[in-house]
């Protein structure tokens, strides 16, 4: 496969002003008539070669091409793979192209496809070329007029982008709808839906007095699950107006839910298409996390209307321009919807967790890439946590450096300069620099250098001079293709705590900085000297996680306990607890590997006890503070990863806390009930989270009482959050020998859960995922589940719920010493790749960090990787991932 480089970018030889599309929709044979009005792009040189119109097409049957009315023969153009080139130098061109595609056999879910008998599209990144020949690149922006024709009984609803102009009946039981999108857009934002659906709708007043029609479309039977998505949409529209002065620019905004979908959702102009997972919810079937996910994703896609659609990307290397920025916007939206400082901190902690769980490992593995990649084989492989979540951290750092007002000025300037353009990450940085009057040239390295920077801190207190010196040394490990790194521009937010736990006032170079100072680390080695420091302080470094770096500092236990009890910055307060836990978990994993007995000290358990019972703190915060680092995060700290030892260590700590804090956990469980009707507000979500964490700890050291508690909660739960938490507690206690019939209780709950919810696909996904992630589930059990009538590899959510969950979230089962997990992985990647390369490629990445494991495991892993890599027929998606893993 061919590698595509950012440095090779050239402007398009022709621009498209208008696109007129006609669809005769038939699952077995859809005819697409495409009429393009093109204009020669004189800004693009041809390097002396003759000019050509370049169109992309895949899996299309070409019926006819006409150029300015003249039919072209096979000698008038050349087809080379996906590229169709027509020699042409005319200033103005009308190109008419007729093609045929077969939606019903399209299992890739890219382009036009059929799901449960209905038509949907997915065009980002390069799916439009599977619908018609087109200059399918984001810097070609055009207006679209779309005529849809289909059988009226089977497909009563016909939707596309923009405004509905006309609809009516046709002979033979068919009907049509004509849609017009007044805004210029790149082809990846095109969408159509032809389906039998129903909708919840309302009109909503916009800031400027207009009223917009809002619709949420779902399959019949799901109208009892659309309300939260509609509420979230309205909150998103209002928030974008209030915080950024950005308005909905269309009279109509539609969300359509589909059960077969590769991503979470897609921001097509005016016609967002969503995975059902991020639309359908009511208390019976959806958890608190599901409700939060819906609000975040509805917001995310809506916010793309400005950051992505009105201002789009010049090329796919700039993907983070829209994704990092839009993730940052949806993060701020979710935080603002909670409103309280403590609630904001909990959302921030969640973001830090995601980075450590997924992005730091990616940055340290074979697929490491900069936020703005320099090359790719398959762009679909670069919809990553680095582009999205690290990209959002990069945007957040502008706000930290410029302040909220400065950042807002930068955003305003960005829109003023670039509305209706396709631009680059450099353009965004320039808007921030110009609006803030700042030199942000060094900041560019956050876009160009991969890898997680390490900041090593050292401190020195001079009692005589009353100065406190903070020395920060930064470095960044080598990543594929990037051996040496230059220093980053890192905002480091710092506070100093006195012995009583209070913040000390900060003075730097005679300037009073309040109690949190944002230091700008720009050198490889830089020292900051605080003056007027009257006592030996404890440093709170990287407050609010002010940069996506790994901070190293030799904290003592006493300092960490002080921070865990008192830091005024809740994120660092949480962080101190994570550091206390991580130190112990790493030591215990070593002990477990060496067969030594395991022991947990009082200092740690007492700190956890104090946190648990501190009623002055929000339950949501306490839940975060009591949650241990995940097995993946622990593994990321080890040179040689031993999954079994890590699991034993973490289980031991969970069980020891469960046993030693039994009465406090039980009391907190009772105190955290949420009586009355279910509500997904932050306060109630926090109480349920803390209650269910207490239950999980109690069942980690199960006795009869704990299991009885879980069974009672399972039986009496009035919502899915409590139901699934109880089920999880029972399933994870399945192998306990301390309780009679532990396995029978788990199996009974699983059976009843399935019986009750078998008609709810998203709940059945939870049922599979719950079993796939349980440490008692081995490959044989997964294979047995694959024969369940409800299992299919063809539905991405279902495939991920069982296969990807097992390979990615069940380290003990997946890393079985005999290599059976890896053989299963290879088999699954190959089977999925034949159906859906994007889903297969995600699964393939479960093996990314194979070189970090013990030699005995590595040997099996390499064999599995080679087995996949050795296949003659493999998608570019999977080939790139396994190729990089083995390189």
Q: Which residues are catalytic?
A: 301
Shortest Cβ 265–ligand DPP spacing (Å)? 5
Nearest Cα neighbor of 216 from 145, 128, 279, 122 is: 279
Q: What gap in Å lies between CA 657 and CA 598, rounded to an integer?
A: 13
Pick from ligand DPP, Zn ion, none: which does 265 bind, CB < 5 to 8 A by kind? ligand DPP
Residue with tokens 């680059």: 424
Nearest Cα neighbor of 534 from 573, 500, 568 is: 500
Shortest Cβ 395–ligand DPP spacing (Å)? 14
Cross-strand bridge partners of residue 602? none
And the tokens for 334? 């979710």
Shortest Cβ 518–Zn ion spacing (Å)? 28
- The residue (of 178 and 266) whose beta carbon lies closer to ligand DPP is 266
128: DSSP letter: G
Pick from Zn ion, ligand DPP, none: which does 848 bind, CB < 5 to 8 A by kind? none
Give the CA distances from residue 273 to residues 28, 161, 256, 665, 781, in Å, rounded to whole numbers and listed in that order.
Answer: 22, 11, 5, 43, 35
- The residue (of 267 and 575) whose beta carbon lies closer to ligand DPP is 267
Pick from Zn ion, ligand DPP, none: which does 99 bind, CB < 5 to 8 A by kind? none
Pick from ligand DPP, Zn ion, none: which does 266 bind, CB < 5 to 8 A by kind? ligand DPP
Pick from ligand DPP, Zn ion, none: which does 263 bind, CB < 5 to 8 A by kind? ligand DPP
Pick from ligand DPP, Zn ion, none: which does 543 bind, CB < 5 to 8 A by kind? none
Element (H, E) at 456: strand 454-462
Give the CA distances from residue 852 to residues 24, 386, 564, in Å, rounded to whole numbers and listed in that order.
Answer: 53, 20, 32
- Using the CB atoms, write b or e for 640-656: b if 16+ within 10 Å: ebbbbbbbbbbbbbbbb
**How crowded is residue 166: how many other Cβ atoms within 10 Å of its Cβ?**
10
Instruction: Give residue 184's region: left, alpha or beta (phi > 0; psi -120 to 50).
Output: beta
- The residue (of 52 and 124) whose beta carbon lies closer to ligand DPP is 124
Instruction: Write the secondary structure of 470-514 as one string of H (helix), E (strand) and C (coil).
Output: EEEEEECCCECCECCCCCCCEEEEEEEECCCCCECCCEECCEECC
- The residue (of 274 and 824) whose beta carbon lies closer to ligand DPP is 274
Shortest Cβ 733–ligand DPP spacing (Å)? 37
Residue 882 CB burial class (10 angstroms; 0-12, 13-18, ≥19): buried
Shortest Cβ 375–ligand DPP spacing (Å)? 20
- The residue (of 323 and 642) whose beta carbon lies closer to Zn ion is 323
And the tokens for 482? 């990037």
Shortest Cβ 267–ligand DPP spacing (Å)? 5
Residues in the chain, total: 887
Pick from ligand DPP, Zn ion, none: which does 734 bind, CB < 5 to 8 A by kind? none
- What dihedral angle (degrees, nearest 10) is formed by the CA atoms of 225, 684, 353, 819? -60
Contact string (CB under 5 A) for Zn ion, positions 297-336, x = contact = --------------------------x--x----------
And the tokens for 20? 């007129």
- The residue (of 317 and 814) whose beta carbon lies closer to ligand DPP is 317
Give the CA distances from residue 749 to residues 597, 670, 691, 699, in Å, rounded to whole numbers and listed in that order.
Answer: 34, 22, 20, 15
CB contact set of 694 (below 8 Å; sequence gap of 6+): 612, 665, 666, 668, 669, 672
- The residue (of 324 and 361) whose beta carbon lies closer to ligand DPP is 324
And the tokens for 433? 């620099």
Q: For the residues of 843-877, what is the DSSP string, one character each?
A: HHGGGTTGGGB-HHHHHHHHHHHHHHHT-SS--HH
Closest-by-Cβ residue to ligand DPP is: 266
Q: What gap in Å lies between CA 831 and CA 642, rounded to an integer?
A: 29
- The residue (of 206 and 263) whose beta carbon lies closer to ligand DPP is 263
Q: Which of residues 514-553 bind Zn ion (CB under 5 A)?
A: none
Shortest Cβ 322–ligand DPP spacing (Å)? 7
- The residue (of 299 and 537) whose beta carbon lies closer to Zn ion is 299
- Using the CB atoms, write b or e for 679-688: b if 16+ within 10 Å: ebebebbbbb
Pick from Zn ion, ligand DPP, none: which does 362 bind, CB < 5 to 8 A by kind? none
- The residue (of 325 and 682) whose beta carbon lies closer to ligand DPP is 325
Q: What is the number of H-type helices and E-type strands within the chain?
A: 29, 33
Q: What gap in Å lies between CA 703 and CA 708, rounded to an integer?
A: 9
Pick from Zn ion, ligand DPP, none: which does 226 bind, CB < 5 to 8 A by kind? none
Q: Tell me if 178 sits within 8 A of 146, measured CB to CB.
A: yes
Residues of this chain that interact with ligand DPP (CB under 6 A) are 124, 263, 265-267, 300-301, 304, 323
Shortest Cβ 327–Zn ion spacing (Å)? 7
Shortest Cβ 839–ligand DPP spacing (Å)? 15
Shortest Cβ 263–ligand DPP spacing (Å)? 5
Pick from Zn ion, ligand DPP, none: which does 344 bind, CB < 5 to 8 A by kind? none
Contact string (CB under 5 A) for Zn ion, positions 683-712, x = contact = ------------------------------
Q: Which residues bind Zn ion (CB under 5 A)?
A: 323, 326
């Amino acid at each position: 496969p061919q590698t595509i480089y950012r440095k090779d970018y050239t402007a398009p030889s022709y621009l498209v002003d208008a696109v007129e599309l006609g669809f005769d929709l038939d699952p077995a044979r859809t005819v697409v008539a495409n009429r393009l009005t093109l204009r020669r792009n004189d800004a693009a040189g041809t390097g002396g070669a003759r000019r050509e119109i370049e169109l992309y097409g895949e899996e299309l049957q070409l019926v006819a091409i006409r150029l300015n009315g003249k039919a072209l023969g096979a000698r008038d153009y050349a087809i080379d793979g996906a590229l169709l080139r027509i020699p042409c130098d005319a200033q103005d061109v009308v190109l008419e192209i007729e093609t045929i595609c077969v939606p019903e056999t399209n299992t890739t879910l890219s382009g036009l496809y059929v799901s449960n008998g209905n038509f949907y599209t997915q065009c980002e990144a390069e799916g439009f070329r599977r619908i018609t020949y087109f200059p399918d690149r984001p810097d070609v922006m055009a207006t679209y007029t779309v005529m849809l024709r289909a059988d009226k009984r089977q497909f009563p609803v016909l939707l596309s982008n923009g405004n509905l102009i006309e609809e009516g009946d046709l002979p033979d039981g068919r009907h049509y709808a004509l849609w017009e999108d007044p805004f210029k857009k790149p082809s990846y934002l095109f969408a159509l839906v032809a389906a039998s659906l129903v909708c919840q709708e309302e009109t909503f007043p916009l800031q400027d007095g207009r009223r917009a029609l809002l619709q949420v479309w779902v399959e019949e039977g799901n109208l009892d699950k659309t309300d939260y998505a509609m509420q979230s949409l309205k909150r998103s529209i209002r928030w974008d107006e209030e915080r950024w002065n950005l308005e909905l620019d269309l009279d109509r905004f539609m969300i359509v839910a589909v059960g077969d979908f590769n991503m979470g959702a897609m921001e097509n102009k005016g016609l967002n298409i969503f995975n059902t997972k991020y639309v359908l919810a009511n208390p019976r079937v959806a958890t608190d996390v599901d409700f939060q996910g819906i609000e975040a994703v509805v917001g995310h896609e809506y916010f793309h209307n400005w950051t992505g659609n009105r201002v789009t990307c010049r090329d796919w290397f700039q993907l983070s321009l829209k994704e990092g920025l839009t993730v940052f916007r949806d993060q701020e939206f979710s935080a603002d919807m909670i409103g309280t400082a403590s609630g904001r901190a909990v959302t921030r902690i969640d973001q830090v967790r995601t980075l450590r769980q997924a992005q730091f490992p990616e940055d340290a593995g074979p697929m490491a890439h900069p936020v703005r990649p320099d090359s790719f084989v398959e762009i679909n492989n670069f919809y990553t946590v680095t582009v999205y979540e690290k990209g959002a951290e990069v945007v957040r750092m502008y706000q930290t450096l410029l302040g909220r007002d400065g950042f807002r000025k930068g955003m305003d300037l960005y829109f003023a300069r670039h509305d209706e353009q396709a631009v680059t990450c450099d353009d965004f940085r320039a808007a921030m620099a110009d609006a803030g009057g700042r030199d942000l040239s060094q900041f560019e390295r956050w876009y160009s250098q991969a890898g997680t920077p390490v900041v090593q801190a050292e401190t020195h207190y001079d009692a005589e001079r009353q100065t406190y010196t903070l020395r920060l040394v930064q470095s960044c490990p080598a990543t594929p293709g990037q051996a040496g790194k230059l220093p980053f521009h890192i905002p480091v937010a710092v506070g100093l705590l006195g012995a009583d736990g209070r913040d000390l006032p900060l003075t730097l170079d005679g300037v009073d900085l309040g109690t949190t100072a944002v230091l700008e680390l720009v050198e490889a080695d830089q020292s900051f000297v605080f003056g007027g420091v009257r006592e030996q302080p404890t440093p709170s470094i990287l407050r609010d996680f002010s940069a996506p770096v790994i901070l190293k500092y030799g904290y003592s236990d006493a300092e960490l306990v002080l921070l865990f009890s008192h830091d005024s910055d809740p994120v660092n307060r949480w962080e101190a607890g994570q550091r206390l836990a991580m130190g112990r978990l790493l030591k215990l994993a070593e002990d477990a590997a060496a067969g030594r007995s395991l022991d947990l000290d009082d200092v740690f358990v007492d700190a956890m006890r104090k946190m648990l019972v501190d009623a002055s703190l929000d339950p949501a915060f306490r839940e975060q503070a009591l949650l241990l680092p995940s097995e993946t995060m622990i593994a990321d700290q080890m040179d040689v990863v031993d999954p079994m030892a890590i699991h034993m260590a973490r289980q031991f700590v969970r069980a020891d806390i469960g046993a030693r804090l039994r009465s406090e956990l039980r009391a907190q469980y009772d105190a955290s009930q949420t009586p009355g009707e279910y509500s997904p507000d932050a306060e109630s979500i926090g109480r349920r989270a803390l209650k269910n964490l207490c239950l999980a700890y109690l069942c980690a050291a199960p006795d009869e009482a704990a299991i009885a508690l879980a069974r009672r909660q399972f039986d009496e739960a009035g919502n899915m959050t409590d139901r699934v938490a109880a089920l999880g507690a029972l399933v994870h206690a399945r192998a306990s020998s301390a309780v009679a019939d532990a396995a029978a209780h788990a199996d009974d709950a699983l059976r009843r859960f399935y019986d009750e919810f078998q008609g709810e696909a998203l709940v059945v996904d939870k049922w599979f995922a719950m079993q796939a992630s349980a440490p008692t589930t081995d490959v044989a059990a997964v294979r047995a589940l694959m024969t369940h009538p409800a299992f299919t590899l063809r539905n991405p959510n279902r495939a991920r719920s069982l296969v990807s969950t097992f390979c990615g979230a069940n380290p003990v089962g997946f890393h079985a010493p005999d290599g059976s997990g890896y053989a299963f992985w290879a088999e699954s990647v190959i089977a999925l790749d034949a159906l859906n390369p994007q889903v297969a490629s995600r699964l393939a990445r479960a093996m990314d960090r194979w070189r970090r494991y013990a030699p005995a495991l590595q040997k099996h892993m390499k064999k599995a990787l080679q087995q996949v890599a050795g296949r003659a027929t493999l998608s570019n998606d999977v080939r790139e991932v396994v190729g990089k893993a083995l390189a």
